A = this chain, B = another copy of it.
Amino acid sequence: MHRSHPRTKFRSGCPLNASVEILGDRWSLLIIRDMMLRGLRSYTQFLDSYEHIATNILAHRLKKLEAYGIIATHQDPLDGRKLIYTLTQKGMDLAPILTEMVLWAAAHEDTQNPELIRQIKKDKQKFIAAVRQKWVENSSHTD
Contact = CB atoms under 8 A, between A and B. Distances in A.
A77 interface: no
A30 interface: yes
A56 interface: no
A105 B24 contact: no
A21 interface: yes
Contacts of A52: 11
Contact of A104 (B94, B101, B112, B113): B94
A114 B43 CA distance: 38
Given A96-B100, A100-B97, A103-B96, A111 B13 contact: yes
Interface in A68-104: 69, 90, 93-94, 96-104
Contact of A13 (B21, B33, B107, B112): B112
A69 B108 CA distance: 9
Contact of A113 (B10, B14, B25, B69): B14
A32 to B, nearest CB: 9
A104 to B, nearest CB: 6
Nearest to A37: B16
A121 to B, nearest CB: 12
Interface of A: 10-27, 29-30, 33, 50-52, 69, 90, 93-94, 96-109, 111-113, 116-117
